[in-house]
Structure 1
Amino acid sequence: MCNLGVLTLLMLMATATAFRFYQDEIPNGDHVPHPCKPNYLWWGVGHANPLGGGPKNPFGQDFARYHSWTEELCRLDSDGDGMTNGQELGDPNCVWTKGNLPQESTSITHPGVCDPWGSDQCRIANQAVTCETGEFKCDGINGQDVMNITLRFPPTAVPAEETSYMCFTFELDMLEEDSEYHLIGSKPFIDNANVMHHIVITGCDATSSPLSKPELCNMAAAGCQKTLQVWTLGMPGECVYREAGFKFGKLAGITRINMQFHWTNPQKRTDYIDSSGLTLFVTKQLRRYNAAYFTTGQTHLVIPPGMPRVVKKSTCTPECTRLIMSESVHLMTGWNHMHYLGYQQNVELNRNGEKLRDLTPDDVYSYDNPIVYEYNPPVEVRPGDSLETTCVFRSTSRSTTARYGEGSFDEMCFGVFTFYPAEAMVQPSCLTWDDLDLCTFSGTSINDCDLMVFINQSHPERQRLFSKVLDNCNAYGGCRSECPAALAEVRQHPCLRGRMEAYIEDIMPVVGTGLDVVKFFSALESCDCVDKPHTSTWKYPVSGAGGHTAVVSISILLAAFTMMLP
């Protein structure tokens, strides 16, 4: 039987769904895991819940008794599973107060849902909680000309890491050599929901290498750059707009398909196996337009701990849309992408300095349950329009700084869209690093800076710059008298001019770091504050004097900068 405590907690957590500020009223209120889906957070009733719903609470009037976290509410065992509400929410001593970090932030459990999930003693108490996802509906896949292709990983051990990216390639032997196809939809088969976060299907050209078994991979495998389908938590499937399809097949230059998994294993368990996959719906009856994916957003994020609101913005400027678009495109769908600190997000479309509309207005954002906005009719974006992405983060339960990164507990700030015609977009992204436009990439260069200068350790220009700085400046000490002149000279280099210096320093870990790199950037800063002891801002671990190899595939590096899916 539910008592007042469990009703109160469920009401608190349900209300937090519609009014996220109520999450501040209980410790760790923003990252309570769902008991039967460890890879999901709990968002309660009243929300488009990825689990299909939650316990229904008809006794909202009882909320008036405990409208905030009290010692009495903390010491109750609301769900009768032998742990107090405080123990389950990380406040075992019932001392937490609003605005402070909880005593514990790991091993959090739901105080209003009986544990262990599925046990006899909890079956009745949890009968209103479901782990089912929504039904996939797509009229277009029912035509007689549509065939389906199911691609699944062989049973594969999940690494004992918080975040892993695993890739496997499939040959297209089931397709005719002399035909082109449109991919018009996909539906997931999720074998291990405890770890699966998202799946990306990309088309691979003749330069790609087949993978005979699943292997750990970068976020975009070399030679497999054309994104064809995406599935992420909370999506029952993808149904492409009726006039468009993603072109693929050997005649279209795609010789194989790469399937990438993003696994989240925060407990670092060693016993997980996964054999998930996607069913692809394809047709030889080509639709009117070819479709593609487009991403906009911010790649430079620093989110301090304990903050109720951190706002980050990115603008795909009119100059950028003119550069990357040869004609107008039409957006079919769009959704936001942040991680667990994500609180609110929106991408706004502007024309001639005036707002046209909101494209992805998530007043309540959920990493585990993205809202996919379908535009019918599709939304036109013209060369010269601008797209402004605003991401709001909340880090009140974090004790460490979060930065941009591919891990589940790093952060991102992207808007992801499908559009047509694919041919109108000369590059699939419009991103910024802080206020630096990344749309100006040309080959391996941006703003006249050739990235190969820093990627290749043997590049003579890199050796000259490093020698000039390290011979005249202290890496771990004060400002030498000869250093300012040396810095003034090297900072005339396009890669070290203005904001480019900070950008180059930030991206160097993508290709690996060595002691010489750490010393170089420390020495660059040695005279920034001559009246203060120097403290390097370098934040990345040193892998040894030799570091990692710095000669890497530029396609992998650029894919990391302008990746299609976060």
Structure 2
Amino acid sequence: MEVFKVFISLTLILCLLCNCVHGYGSYRSKIPNGNNVPHPCKVNYIWQGVGHRKKEGAGYRNPFGEDFKTAGKVWTKELCQKDSDGDGMTNGQELGDPSCSWTVGDNPPTAEKISHPGICEPWTDPKCQHQLSWLESECEPDKFDCPALQSDPDIKNMTLRFPLTDVPIQDTSYMCTEFEVDSSDDFHLIATEMLVNNTNVMHHALLFGCSSDNHTLRSTPHQCGMVASRECGEIIAIWTIGLSGQCFHENVGFRIGSQGFKRVALQFHWNNPTLETNYKDQSGMVLYYTKNKRMYDAGTFLVGASYLEIPGRTVSLEETALCPGVCTSRFITPEAYIVSATNHMHYLGRVQQIEQFRNGTKVRDLTNDQNYNYDDPSPIHYKTPIKLLPGDTIKTRCVFNSQNRDQVTYFGDATSDEMCFGFFTYYPKENIKMSSCTSWKSLPYCAVYSGEEYLGCNFVEFSSKQGIKMFTEIWQNCSTECTTECLSKIELLMNHACMKGDYYDLMKTSMLRNNPQAGSFFIMLENCQASIPTKATTTEKGANEATTMFVHKFLLLTTTMVISLCGRF
């Protein structure tokens, strides 16, 4: 009899960041498409403070804000039919409700183009010049300000740029190109500045350090995963809409050159939801580095949730993820210091908070954004670094609002999917032995794959030893039909702690990812188990058709399962 292993694949997802504070964000739900009002002069930006002169809200109102206030902050037919900004379109036309039929709680009306009801457009048109006194500053390009670049006379810079590249005709694309960096000396990378060429598609960029420089250099743009490659997997710089660049903490730098990363991979996340056929991009990133190294090498660390399932039409759904003390006690030695923290969700995200606990008591909030804005990030920089000790627990909490969607939203990399992650930059790099600590539902990956028992299950041991024995016994006892002996073996398997609750879901999901046919295997287990009450009173000769089908399908799947369930940890 052939023995097979259960394969559980661990995917650590890497992505981006955001965090900002606004006032009165709830008013956006009181007008049609209130969360989708575009910035009039910055492609891909959302104007969150629809009724205000500043995109983030607060301060003086714009003409629509004044009219909204006059209407009692209610979407009335009169307000809908009014042209608040004087550009020739009614407020209803600009917000996708030309018939003025939308009411609070309805799905946002579908429209080919949404525009701003409080800003005359196009904003450069002569008829719109009256608003330049307050709008012009909002339309200026984001400027990169990093004082360290002026204080160090030995600063060098290197520009990494994609050649002019066709944007794939698909909703979401991850494109990567590798570059060799200056290895003439031992340097610290202290800042990065983004050069955006095509604002229509650019969503975010990541710079990965390559642990190896022995592989063939992938020097032309190519589609890649959320991590650039197996060799290039350590995030050292991040850019997203709303940022101009990164200026690292004065005590840290990322080691590049002769004693550090000799190669880097630049990754772009392009969004092309309208499937345009003629988009091209040649964006890039400037690296600023110096031989005058700072006190510590920096590292990046990711926390959050790797599983999300958000029902449609839900006003508030909270998801939490733990990086428990049982994990940090193993991979933090002896201590680390956080110098910056950033939140990351997508468009359904409303609140994100990351908390630090020690000995069961809350120490502090590492982030706490009660009015999250995906399009206007504001990373938190700690002038006094935050100490992180072995045994500390990090809890990530995300709140989502899907009231304007009918369908379920899952975890994923597209902007129409969702995420719940936090990024930390810390030092010294060598004091944290893992790059991420994320959870799948209630299960922290670090605990599941530790080789020790967590919530009653030693998952590594079960998958490599006990599970093999139990699956083999099922094979031996279910060789012809779902007999009483077969049922008892399946019941024993399904009652094991590693086959219950979120462990069961994790195993099932991982096996399906590796081989879609594995779904039939789990259906058969569940169907056979469900027949236990009736099987006791049914002879083998009179076994029902469902359990007989179980056996035949089980036999057909065995060869495939032997291959698909074999894996590594």
Q: Which range, TM-score by smaller chain?
A: 0.7 to 0.9
Closer, same or farther: CA 351–131 of 1 in aligned 2, 3 Å = same
Matching residue within 130, 143, 154 for 2:163: 154
How far apart are 1:238 and its partner, in Å?
0.9
How far apart are 1:425 and its partner, in Å?
0.3
Q: State the match for 1:19 in structure 2.
A: 24
Q: State the match for 2:410 in structure 1.
A: 403
Query: What does 1:303-314 align with in structure 2 at a 5 Å threshold?
Result: 303-314=310-321
Equivalent-residue separation in structure 2 for 1:332 and 1:103 (angstroms): 43
Query: What does 1:173-212 align with in structure 2 at a 5 Å threshold?
Result: 174-176=182-184, 179-204=185-210, 205-206=212-213, 208-212=215-219
Instruction: Report if aligned partners of 1:303, 1:403 keep a CA contact under 8 Å in 2.
Output: yes
Equivalent-residue separation in structure 1 for 2:486 and 2:94 (angstroms): 56
Query: What does 1:275-424 align with in structure 2 at a 5 Å threshold?
Result: 275-424=282-431
Closer, same or farther: CA 319–57 of 1 in aligned 2, 3 Å = farther
2:240 is aligned with 1:237: no
Deviates further, 408-417 or 74-83: 74-83
2:96 is aligned with 1:90: yes
Q: Which amino acid aligns with 2:249?
A: Y
Summarize deviations over 1:530-553 as a string: whole Å, max 9, x none. 79x9xxxxxxxxxxx999x97999
Closer, same or farther: CA 351–448 of 1 in aligned 2, 3 Å = closer
Summarize deviations over 1:500-540 as a string: whole Å, max 9, x none. 2201333456x5543x1232233344367779x9xxxxxxx
Q: State the match for 2:256 in structure 1.
A: 248
Instruction: Report if aligned partners of 2:183, 2:256 keep a CA contact under 8 Å in 1.
Output: no
Q: State the match for 2:154 in structure 1.
A: 145
Q: Secondary structure, in 3 states, of the residue corresponding to 1:387?
A: strand
Query: What does 1:524-563 align with in structure 2 at a 5 Å threshold?
Result: 524-526=525-527
Equivalent-residue separation in structure 1 for 2:334 and 2:419 (angstroms): 29
How far apart are 1:442 and its partner, in Å?
5.0
Q: Which amino acid aligns with 2:41?
A: C
Matching residue within 498, 502, 509 for 1:499: 502
Q: State the match for 1:521 in structure 2.
A: 522
Deviates further, 157-166 or 486-495: 486-495
2:118 is aligned with 1:112: yes
2:31 is aligned with 1:33: no
Q: Secondary structure, in 3 states, of the residue corresponding to 1:199?
A: strand
Equivalent-residue separation in structure 1 for 2:76 and 2:99 (angstroms): 12
Instruction: Report if aligned partners of 2:342, 2:378 keep a CA contact under 8 Å in 1.
Output: yes
Gaps of 5+ in 1: 1-15, 474-478, 534-544, 559-566
Matching residue within 45, 48, 52 for 1:43: 48
Q: State the match for 1:74 in structure 2.
A: 80
Q: Secondary structure, in 3 states, of the residue corresponding to 1:37?
A: coil
Instruction: Report if aligned partners of 1:201, 1:260 keep a CA contact under 8 Å in 2.
Output: yes
Report how many residues are paired: 513
Closer, same or farther: CA 30–51 of 1 in aligned 2, 3 Å = closer
Q: Secondary structure, in 3 states, of the residue corresponding to 1:22?
A: helix
Q: State the match for 2:540 in structure 1.
A: none
Normalising by structure 2, what TM-score? 0.79
Instruction: Report if aligned partners of 1:52, 1:131 keep a CA contact under 8 Å in 2.
Output: no
Normalising by structure 1, what TM-score? 0.80
Instruction: Report if aligned partners of 1:341, 1:395 keep a CA contact under 8 Å in 2.
Output: yes
How far apart are 1:199 and its partner, in Å?
1.0
How far apart are 1:369 and its partner, in Å?
1.3
Q: State the match for 1:64 in structure 2.
A: 70
How far apart are 1:460 and its partner, in Å?
8.9
2:226 is aligned with 1:219: yes
Q: Secondary structure, in 3 states, of the residue corresponding to 2:371?
A: coil
Equivalent-residue separation in structure 2 for 1:322 and 1:295 (angstroms): 16
Q: Which amino acid aligns with 2:490?
A: L
Q: Secondary structure, in 3 states, of the residue corresponding to 2:188?
A: strand
Q: State the match for 1:487 in structure 2.
A: 490
How far apart are 1:63 and its partner, in Å?
1.1
Summarize deviations over 1:320-362 as a string: whole Å, max 9, x none. 2112211111110111000010101111122222222211111
Equivalent-residue separation in structure 1 for 2:370 and 2:362 (angstroms): 18
Instruction: Report if aligned partners of 2:477, 2:485 keep a CA contact under 8 Å in 1.
Output: no
Deviates further, 73-82 or 402-411: 73-82
Closer, same or farther: CA 166–50 of 1 in aligned 2, 3 Å = farther
How far apart are 1:209 and its partner, in Å?
4.0
Q: Which amino acid aligns with 1:420?
A: Y
Q: Which amino acid aligns with 2:204?
A: H
Q: Secondary structure, in 3 states, of the residue corresponding to 1:186?
A: strand
Closer, same or farther: CA 67–442 of 1 in aligned 2, 3 Å = closer
Q: State the match for 2:441 in structure 1.
A: 434
Equivalent-residue separation in structure 2 for 1:207 and 1:529 (angstroms): 54
Instruction: Report if aligned partners of 1:305, 1:397 keep a CA contact under 8 Å in 2.
Output: yes
Instruction: Report if aligned partners of 1:325, 1:425 keep a CA contact under 8 Å in 2.
Output: yes
Q: Secondary structure, in 3 states, of the residue corresponding to 1:141?
A: helix
Q: Secondary structure, in 3 states, of the residue corresponding to 1:95?
A: coil
Q: Which amino acid aligns with 1:41?
A: I
How far apart are 1:417 and its partner, in Å?
0.9
Summarize deviations over 1:169-225 as a string: whole Å, max 9, x none. 0123x321xx32211111111111121111111111136442131011001122101
Q: Which amino acid aligns with 1:385?
A: D
Equivalent-residue separation in structure 2 for 1:123 and 1:468 (angstroms): 82
Equivalent-residue separation in structure 2 for 1:135 and 1:401 (angstroms): 38
Q: CA RMSD in A?
A: 3.9
Deviates further, 61-70 or 141-150: 61-70
Greater CA radius of gyration, 1 or 2?
Answer: 2
Closer, same or farther: CA 52–369 of 1 in aligned 2, 3 Å = farther
How far apart are 1:152 and its partner, in Å?
0.8
Q: Secondary structure, in 3 states, of the residue corresponding to 2:369?
A: coil
Instruction: Report if aligned partners of 1:52, 1:134 keep a CA contact under 8 Å in 2.
Output: no
Q: State the match for 1:5 in structure 2.
A: none
